[in-house]
Structures are given as structure tokens and as C-alpha cells.
Amino acid sequence: MRTEDLLAAIETGLWRWDNASGRVTLDAEAARLLGLPAEPAELTEAAVRSRFHPVDFAEINGVVQLAVSEGTLAEARLRIVDERGRVLRIVRTRSRPRLVNGDFDLVGTLQEVPEPQPGTSAAHTPITGDWRRSREAFLLDAGRALAEARSTAEVLRVAAGLSMPGFMPDGLAVFGIEGDRLSVIGHHGHRPGDERPFSGMTLETEYPAAEVIRTGRAIYLPTPEEYRRRYPATWPLAARFQRTSWAFLPLVNAGRTIGAWMAGFAQPVAFTPDERSVLTTVARMLAQALARAGVQESQHELAVGLQRSMMPTVQPDIPGMTVAARYVPTGGGLEVGGDWYDMIPLPSGRIALVIGDVQGHDVRAAGLMGQLRIALRAYASEGHHPDAVLSRASRFLAGINETEFRGLGEDQRFATCLYVEVDPATGLLDIARAGHPDPAIRMADGPMLVRPTAGGLPLGIDPDTDYPTTRLVLEPGETMLVCTDGLIETGGHDLETGWARLRGIFEGHEAGADETSGESLERLADTLVQAVHGPSSHHTTGPLVDRREDDIAVLLLSRDGGSCGVGTGGRPTRQPVRRTVFSVAQAEPERIAEARRQIRAVLHDWADPDQVDAAVLMVSEVVTNVLKHTDGDALLVAEISGERGRRRIRVDVADGSDELPHRRRPGELASSGRGLVLMELLAGAWGVDPRGDGKSTWFELYEDAGSAVEPSGPVSPDPEEPAPESAA
């Protein structure tokens, strides 16, 4: 009997579809199955396509690609429709595809599909548009879930929870490659320890997962008999799980097989083309998700190790002081960036606190940060003063810019830095600043002051830059905050709005009744970071909404006790409720405006606003007189004491001149000479105290005006003696 007669007898037709020419050749039986006259025909692709249900025809390209990738037959079930779109029958096609220059050539058979056998997956997965829509929805959900997984464990958890349309695995396993052996990365649907017999198998073992990794082709085992026939040596390992069907698929990423995925089924699965297509698509997504998670975990492990080596732990046992620190990487996708902090024991017995920010958020910035931190630690350990430490560090970074970055044609990097030398016994802070945000101090009774400090250019810009030093005093009960600009400006804020956002948190922090000072400071550090990095920060964005996120480094220093580091004219010192110290150099008259702002900040809750204005005016007068009539700098000390409503503020302005001011009688048109007159009119008490190295001009104001005393006695031994003019 001829082949044509045999095929006709079993109602099987032959067809050839040449995608390149767009022609389809049918024998008589194939034409009949397509609803055409039962005679051989050669039709256009469009004519044949009109005989298929449009949803089913759209599957053919995917089926062909799947068959080519697996090296198997292209199988599909297609609904045949008439001119009105009514389904005449369902046919099954089995074809051998060949790809030629991107086009396919199919040669195969067409046969009417009989009723599905009960008990198999084909019985409950008919080819319908609804099933395909369910499959597409499943693949979209699976792809999204796998894309969002950030770790290998999460990828495996997502894979285990996938509910495939029409068939559901009850056991999954993901195999990896370690040298020439299999490893079990993870599994689901098995007891702990069930994976041990499969771990360590060589890739030459006759086991489906090993063969899949060797060949890169999927293996489908629809029955236990098929499994036993093909893999008799390893069948006993699988038999104890009492499954009936298995699919082993390669996990391929970037053209390389990185492992295998096993899906085991308790119910029989026929592995139709649609089912194989779903499994293949899931395997591809799973491979990409595992590769992505592996890279992220490797980067995280590397970054954490780098961070641990570069970020020191703060010293917890500074006498009379407590320190807390935080580092939060938020920019550039790295777990460590250019921000850093350090705490350095000095030869003098003092402690140096350092915080800085290297330009950039890449690996280069992280590496440069490590070099700069080591250099600063070395210079500080040699006993250099803060200004000398920063000068040497700037020269060091400028040298790196010159020899490494410029030589390689890369942009040069700079770094901001704040260096604080702390005397734990007295609370004295010697601060040198290189383009970094100023420190903020929370006073003992709550208000926060941003303390202006002298500074120079960021490190690395000019190797000969000078870094003047500012001396402040951290009083008992006060807390100093130093941070990188990420804490201030993250979320689209600038310096002004960023400090305003932090002010309420810093001022409102209170220690719990059962907390130690260290626990309270640690909680404050977490609260500050959470305010700019947590969910609530998205509702408090600043005016610069397009500003990219930045890394965050924070150092908090709290003074628990000790004596005051700056005296007040030789009188016994009392524990101040609120105190600020501010210096104005001869070469920096613009800092007089900052002195006025500091006084307003100290008096922010003073009962009488007129007294606040008076204090600001008198500070401006006294400091201006120092700069105009002496050759030295002005040191301003403001102290508030007493109970709210009955408080006293005393302001001392010290200078290095021994010559005392004199009262004058200015005419109507005189532009100066009224400073002491203003002091007499506005101050509750005032005076001038000679010192061994100069003098101190002081005034007091009283919140309860009824407690004001008469102005103090003469401030000059001879009012008629010529003296430097007041700058009023």
C-alpha cells in the first residue's frame, strides 16, 4: 500500500508551509480537514489562515520557535472554522520545522483530534481562547513576581507559589552547577534532607537534570514507565516521591546554561505543546530571576564586607560622653558609597570625630573614600592640629587627582569633610571644616542651633588651602549632630528646608524613662534617618523635587557631665540652662549677621519680643566695636539661666584689647558714639570687666521685667578722657 493511501485510510493529511514564499501545499485529505474540496491544492498563506481560528493561528509562531529551541516536533491543536466563523472541527498538526534565514519551512501532518482521554491534563485543557487568555495572564503575573524577587530564596518562593493554568506541580527543584557536579539550589514540596541524594551528582550521571545541563534541551517524562525506561539507574531515587509526570527544563541566561528546573506532577500530564510552552517560558523567566538575584547577592556580600572594613564602630566608653553613628547607602545602587565617618583616639588623650563625603556614588568613590579615611587617620594619629590634618588630607587628595584621575582622563574628585577634636573632660570642640555642612547642637532644654564654623574649600581642589579652626563648647546635657548633606537634602530639600525638617525631630527627642543615655542616642539616630529615608519622608518632599537621592552618614555626640570649658570673667560658673559660644574674626565682619541670628535662635522662646530685638541690637553694637576699635577677634558667649518666665540672659563679648570703652556725647548728625547710650537704655544690667588678656563687655536682660536691676556703675574711670568711638 502506498504511503498516500495509508494516510488517507487513517484520515491523516500532509501539508507543507513555506513561510518564505507564503505558499501552503495540501494533499486531498489535508484540504478536506481544512473544509476545502478533497483534492490537492496549493494556496496562499492568507487563504489557509482564513480557515483557522484567529486566536489559534497566532500560536503557530510560538510553537515553531519552541520546537526549534528544543529540537522537537512542532505540535499544535487548531480550530477549523467556516466562512461564518463557526468551528467545524479541531485538528492536530505535527510538523518538523526548519529555520532558513529567519523563515521557517514546515512539513508535517494534519489529523482530526479525537475526544481527550479522561485522567490526563489534556482532558481539562481544551484549546480555547479563554484558556489562552488565562495562560497569558498567568505568564504576566509570574513574570512580574519573578522580576520583583530580590534574592534566591525569594525567587524560589515565588516559583513554588506559581499556579499554572490547567496543571499544577506538587514538587519543584532548582539545580545549579558547582564545577562538574550538580547542586540543589532550592526545592519545594519535599522534606528537608530529601535533596541529599541528588547533590554532588556528576554531570555525566544518567539523571534528567544532568542531561538537561549537558545538552541544553528540555526533557519531558509523562509517565513513570517512560522515566524508568530512559533512566533506570536513577529511577529509584525518584520513585519514592510517587509522582506520575516530570518536566526537566534548562535554565539559560545570556546563552549559557546555568542550571536545570524540575517540575514534578502528582497527576498525569500529557505535556501538550501549550503546556510545554508555559513551562519553557517560566523556565526562561526563572533563569533570569535567579541570575539577577545571584548578582545582587554577590554585590551585597561584597558591599557589606567593604562597608564593615571601611566603617568603624564608635567607641562606647568615652568618659562623660556618648556617641552614636549611622551609615545608610541610598544613591547609585551600591551598599557603600563615598560617605564615611570615623572616630580616632589621639595621642593627647582627646578624640577626633571625622565625617566626610567623596564626590560620586560609584565604586571609584567608595575606593577613594577608603584611601582618604586612612590618610586622615594617619595624620590625626601623628598629633597634628585639626587645620593641619585637613591641609595634609587636601594635599593627599590633590595628588591622587593629579596622578591617577587626570592621567587616566577621568574627572577629578573632591571631598567635603568636618573634623572635630573633642576634649571629653571640658567639652571643648576644635572644629576644622572643608566645604561640609556645619554642625548642629541641641541644647540642654531642647532648642537646636546650627553653629556656623570657619571653613575652607573641599579637599582636593587646592593643595595649599588653609582650614581655620573654630572652638565651641559642648555643655552638659547638649548633643551635637554632624552629618553629610544626604541627611539634610534627601527628598528634594535644600539646606534651609532640610534643617527645618530635622529641627522638629532633633528638638522633640526625649529619652525614655527606662533608657540609658546610649540607648536614647541610638534611638535618636534611627529616628533622624527614618525621617528622611522612611515612608513618611515621601510626604515631606522639598522644593528641589528632582534632586537625586544621596548616601547618609550621621554622627551624634552627647555630653553627659563635666565642667564648662569657657569662664565668665573669673566668677564661679553655674550649670547653664542654655549656652552658645560664637567667634567673629577681624577678617570676617560678615559673621556679625550670623551672631545676630545666633542670639535670636537662643532666644526663640523668650517671652518679650522687644527684649529679643534689644539683645540683637546690643550684640551687633558690641561686636562691631571690637572689630572697629581693636586688632583682635571677638568671642561671644551667651548664657540663659533660671526658670521659664523668670530667666536671665547674660551676653559676654571678649576681646584682646586692654583699653576700656568710654561714654561720648554725639551730636544730632554724628554717625557713631551711641553704643553705650543704647546699652544704658536697653540692658537690665551691663558692664566691662578687665581681664589679664583683654576685657569682656557684658549685658544682661531679664524675662521678668520686674526683676531688672539698675544699670551697673561707671564703665570708665574718666568719662572725659578721649577713647575709641562706639560704632553706633
- pLDDT tens by residue, 148-186: 777 787 887 777 766 666 667 888 888 989 888 898 888
Residue 224 is predicted with a pLDDT of 94
From the list 422, 547, 401, the residue with the least C-alpha distance to 472 is: 422
- Between these two residues, 189 and 597, which has the higher pLDDT value? 597
**Confidence grade of residue 307 (pLDDT, cut at 50, 70, 90):** low
- The phi-psi region of residue 649 (left if phi > 0; otherwise alpha if psi is between -120 and 50; otherwise beta) is beta
- Of all helices (H) and strands (E), which one includes residue 43? strand 41-44
Residues in the chain: 728
Under 8 Å between Cβ of 548 and 603: no
Residue 669 is predicted with a pLDDT of 46
Can you list the positions of beta strands (E) in 266-350? Answer: 321-328, 339-345
From the list 486, 184, 166, the residue with the least C-alpha distance to 338 is: 486
**Confidence grade of residue 566 (pLDDT, cut at 50, 70, 90):** very low
Q: What amino acid occupies position 575?
A: Q
- Of all helices (H) and strands (E), which one includes residue 529? helix 517-533
**Maximum mean pLDDT: which of 75-89, 307-321, 324-338, 711-725:** 75-89
| Of the candidate ranges 223-227, 302-306, 387-391, 549-553, the one whose mean pLDDT is the lowest | 302-306
Burial class of 713 by CB neighbour count within 10 A (0 to 12, 13 to 18, 19+) = exposed
- pLDDT beyond 60 at 480: yes
- The phi-psi region of residue 650 (left if phi > 0; otherwise alpha if psi is between -120 and 50; otherwise beta) is beta
Cα 443 vs. chain centroid, distance in angstroms?
31
| Of the candidate ranges 76-90, 232-246, 671-685, 690-704, the one whose mean pLDDT is the lowest | 671-685
- pLDDT beyond 50 at 126: no
Question: For the chain, what is the mean pLDDT?
Answer: 80
**Distance between CA 311 and CA 307 in Å, rounded?**
6
**Distance between CA 334 and CA 303 in Å, rounded?**
7
- pLDDT beyond 70 at 133: no
**Confidence grade of residue 207 (pLDDT, cut at 50, 70, 90):** very high
Under 8 Å between Cβ of 358 and 328: no
From the list 277, 282, 285, 283, the residue with the least C-alpha distance to 125 is: 277
**Distance between CA 275 and CA 62 in Å, rounded?**
12
- Over residues 583-587, the mean pLDDT reads 82
Residue 538 is predicted with a pLDDT of 63
Residue 232 is predicted with a pLDDT of 93
Residue 306 is predicted with a pLDDT of 62
Under 8 Å between Cβ of 174 and 188: no
- pLDDT beyond 70 at 248: yes
- Over residues 201-219, the mean pLDDT reads 91
Under 8 Å between Cβ of 653 and 696: yes
Residue 555 is predicted with a pLDDT of 93
Residue 282 is predicted with a pLDDT of 86
Under 8 Å between Cβ of 528 and 487: yes
- Over residues 523-534, the mean pLDDT reads 87
- Between these two residues, 490 and 333, which has the higher pLDDT value? 490
**Distance between CA 212 and CA 225 in Å, rounded?**
19
Locate cell 572697629: which residue?
Answer: 628
| Of the candidate ranges 540-549, 610-619, 716-725, the one whose mean pLDDT is the lowest | 716-725
- Over residues 377-406, the mean pLDDT reads 89
Can you list the positions of beta strands (E) in 189-282? Answer: 219-221, 245-253, 256-265
Residue 698 is predicted with a pLDDT of 92
Q: What are phi and psi of 582, to 5 degrees?
A: -145, 135
Q: What are phi and psi of 127, to 5 degrees?
A: -75, 105
- pLDDT beyond 70 at 539: no
- Over residues 111-129, the mean pLDDT reads 54
- pLDDT beyond 80 at 465: yes
**Confidence grade of residue 723 (pLDDT, cut at 50, 70, 90):** very low
CA gyration radius for the chain? 41
- pLDDT beyond 70 at 546: no
Residue 12 is predicted with a pLDDT of 86
